[in-house]
Amino acid sequence: MSLLVIGSLALDTIETPFGKAERTLGGSATFISTSASYFTTPVRLVGIVGYDFPKEEIEFLKSKKIDISGLEISETKKTFHWHGKYDFDLNTRESLVTELNAFETFDPVISEKFKDSEYVCLGNLHPSLQKKVISQISKPKLVMCDTMNFWIEGAYNELLEILKHVNLLVINDSEARELTKEFNLVIAARKIMSLGPKILIIKKGEHGALLFTNDSIFSAPAYPLEEVFDPTGAGDTFAGGLMGWIAKTKDLSTDNLKLAVIYGSTMASLAVEKFSLDGIRNLTNDTIMKRFSEFKKLTFFKEQTL
């Protein structure tokens, strides 16, 4: 049940057509670990924040039974700060401010206690940092990795190197196309899987996600929401639900991976309904299962042959 999550913790300022939230809790590791905490505890968090990181948010992470012994608190630097503004359709966003602060010198050292982690979530980081993390884990059963166009463009060779050690890559459709120079996602998927990951998930935003394994393709819908307030962290929340379910069940069969994708989608659909992390701060199992069952209604049909 040992799930290790590494990534950024941030204080985000977010503007959407629906409002603005100032210096609110953000970062890939925050979303991943909070989302995963509904499936498996304690989630092991590795990251760095600054001296300005709110005490109550530390308490919040603890309340989710997240093990924060791997969370470094810088005494001299501030927390990573991102200020983004979303377009009217919420599909494109502009980064107005990116202040790395404490995150700039983040050097992930995995404690002895965490080295036996079985499931590893590498949040979006420079591939060389991701590699450094993997090399410290003694015997991972599954390494999941997220990345972004920034690394595809700026650290291509390092990304290819890390992919050799990754079992499950989560990437969005435009990144998959950029990485492979293939427009067709099925062909892009095959190319990516030849680089290392035996399991691949391509996220398509409002169009859901595709899961590729060696013997199948699974298509998960996105939940059709009338009001998406803030897409920030949706992908990380997805990854947290996905890996939380896998760590809980310890089952890497295709059938169970499909289920993990649905749980990831369930969590992401709950996250985007509110600003920042608010959509997944205080969920009950009932709320999660209710949304989960909506996913079933959304795609299941009664068979009848021609």
**Residues in touch with a second copy (CB under 8 A):** 38-39, 88-89, 183-187, 204, 206-208, 210, 216-222, 224-228, 249, 255-256, 258-259, 262-263, 285, 288-289, 292, 296-306
Nearer to a second copy, 158 or 206 (CB): 206
Q: Write down the least CB distance from residue 245 to a second copy, Å.
A: 8
Nearer to a second copy, 75 or 306 (CB): 306
Q: Write down the least CB distance from residue 288 to a second copy, Å.
A: 6
Strands 3-6 and 10-16: unpaired
Nearer to a second copy, 30 or 213 (CB): 213
Q: Write down the least CB distance from residue 213 to a second copy, Å.
A: 12
Three-state SS across 79-122?
CEEEEEEECCCCCCEEEEEEECHHHHHCCCCCCHHHCCCCEEEE
CA 66, 71, 76, 79 torsion-angle sign: negative
With tokens 């962290």, the residue in question is 233
Nearer to a second copy, 95 or 306 (CB): 306
Nearer to a second copy, 69 or 219 (CB): 219
159: Cα separation from own chain's centroid: 17
Q: Write down the least CB distance from residue 101 to a second copy, Å.
A: 35
What are the tokens at 168?
Answer: 């499950």
CA distance 268 to 235: 7
CA distance 201 to 213: 9
Nearer to a second copy, 52 or 206 (CB): 206
CA distance 287 to 91: 26
What DSSP string runs through 32-96? HHHHHTTTSSSEEEEEEE-TTS-HHHHHHHHHTTEEEEEEEE-SSS--EEEEEEE-TTSS-EEEE
CA distance 172 to 179: 10
Nearer to a second copy, 63 or 184 (CB): 184
With tokens 């950024």, the residue in question is 8
Q: Write down the least CB distance from residue 94 to a second copy, Å.
A: 17
Q: Write down the least CB distance from residue 273 to a second copy, Å.
A: 13
Nearer to a second copy, 107 or 224 (CB): 224
* Among the listed residues 230, 165, 189, 264, the one whose alpha carbon sits nearest the alpha carbon of residue 18: 230
With tokens 């304690």, the residue in question is 42
Q: Write down the least CB distance from residue 221 to a second copy, Å.
A: 4
Q: Write down the least CB distance from residue 14 to a second copy, Å.
A: 19
What are the tokens at 278?
Answer: 């608010």
